[in-house]
Amino acid sequence: MTVTNDIKYIGVNDHEIDLFEGQYIVPNGMAYNSYVIMDEKIAVMDTVDQNFTDEWFAKLETELAGRTPDYIVVQHMEPDHSANLANFMEKYPTATVVATAAAFNMMKNFFGKDYADRRMMVKEGDTLSLGKHELTFVMAPMVHWPEVMVTYDSTDKVLFSADGFGKFGALDVEEDWACEARRYYIGIVGKFGAQVQALLKKAAGLDIQIICPLHGPVLTENLGYYIGLYDTWSSYGVETDGVVIAYTSVYGHTKEAAELLAKKLTEKGCPKVAVNDLARCDMAEAVEDAFRYGKLVLATTTYNGDIFPFMREFINHLTERNFQNRTIGLIENGAWAPMAAKVMKGMFENSKNLTFTDTTVQIKAALNDASLAQIDALADELCK
Ligand code: FEO
């Protein structure tokens, strides 16, 4: 696949993977992108996952057409991209590896060697001329690991963006970009909003016509749309006006309350209401929703003096990703000593800029007149 006259795509699609990074379902598979820049000197941009060694080398050899690569640029050491680095260095013994100091430390840990005699260690603003193409290396620590850098090709105005602007899904499947890019971003990079903001500020100073990420499609048009979403996500802004209700339910009473609240919100004209059963939905999708919408309602039962395990897991996913700038409403259920609301609220004690609704719904086993009135009051508050 051609990106520009000189930049070729040599990535692979993975439809065999069950869980990406050991935890994310990927119904449409995953793409591990890699590129080669053909110039007087040839640079390969990252490798691919260990299960695609032969396919990747075959694609690379086709583009090389008998030539030998001069550089392998390692932007990120996570094995979905670096797994074939040692194979590459063995196959092309005259090639130089280009990476950050932190990446070379990781190479030693992953491969037992850091290529001291065949390496170019780069830092912020360093450049590499391939002939016509000049590459500038831009440090992007914690987007998504500490050794990450991105690379700007000022000749073709291409940003090789590492994990940034990536998404779940193989490239031979058509699907909406934002849905799986959001789930990917929030799940994988969501904690590091400040670092993504820093990278976006640096990128704003570059004339970028094409974004070449390590996952997902090459972005060639309407780049303002993608950059705008990244700005919203990384600043923990509200992307979509609406309410997401996340619940767990044991015998159906908490579910009944969650669904009744959703109905009342819809009747009152709430622009979007999303409801997630945390025991049955994709947890990453529920987490994505919490970061997408401006208001979140958590409904769960008191359980072993704590809260139901799926809700505890869900809130942990939010707080470890720096969940902030949102309104939260609580619904608790407890047949004899309800304490779920107190536990849930306590789990957010170190989170920034959260507003809890005045109304908390308390159910003692099943809905009654008092709890029904509280649901009405909560719906009113959330629609104000
Ligand atoms: Fe696609 Fe952070 O690796």
Nearest CA residue ID for atom 3, ligand 1: 78
Report the 10 Å Cβ neighbour count for 66: 5
Closest C-alpha among 348, 160, 338, 146 to residue 257 = 338
CB of 163 shorter than 6 A to ligand 1: yes
191: pLDDT strictly greater than 90: yes
* Residue-wise pLDDT tens digits, 271-323: 999 999 999 999 999 999 999 999 999 999 999 999 999 999 999 999 999 99
What does the pLDDT read at residue 240?
A: 98
Residue 50 binned pLDDT confidence (cut-offs 50, 70, 90): very high
Q: pLDDT exceeding 90 applies to what percent of the chain?
A: 99
CA of residue 70 to ligand 1 center, whole Å: 24
130: pLDDT strictly greater than 90: yes
Mean pLDDT of 10-35: 98
CA 353 to chain centre: 22
384: pLDDT strictly greater than 90: no
What does the pLDDT read at residue 211?
A: 98
What does the pLDDT read at residue 313?
A: 98
**pTM recorded for the entire structure:** 0.96
Residue 351 binned pLDDT confidence (cut-offs 50, 70, 90): very high
Query: Which domains does the chain possess?
Result: 7-234 (3.60.15.10), 240-382 (3.40.50.360)
Mean pLDDT of 48-77: 98
Report the 10 Å Cβ neighbour count for 237: 13
Mean pLDDT of 18-31: 98
> Which atom belonging to ligand 1 lies closest to the Cα atom of 163?
1
Residue 324 binned pLDDT confidence (cut-offs 50, 70, 90): very high
Nearest CA residue ID for atom 1, ligand 1: 163
4: pLDDT strictly greater than 90: yes
What does the pLDDT read at residue 86?
A: 98
CA of residue 329 to ligand 1 center, whole Å: 34
1: pLDDT strictly greater than 90: no
Residue 136 near residue 158 (C-beta atoms within 8 A): no
CA of residue 144 to ligand 1 center, whole Å: 7
What does the pLDDT read at residue 62?
A: 98
What does the pLDDT read at residue 71?
A: 98
Mean pLDDT of 184-205: 98
Q: pLDDT exceeding 70 applies to what percent of the chain?
A: 100
Place of tokens 């009654």: 368
C-alpha distances in Å from residue 312, one per residue of 7, 248, 320, 344: 46, 10, 12, 8
CA of residue 143 to ligand 1 center, whole Å: 9
Mean pLDDT of 325-340: 96
CA of residue 78 to ligand 1 center, whole Å: 5
> Which atom belonging to ligand 1 lies closest to the Cα atom of 188?
2
Pair of tokens at residue 274: 């999303």
What's the N-to-C CA distance of the chain in angstroms?
51
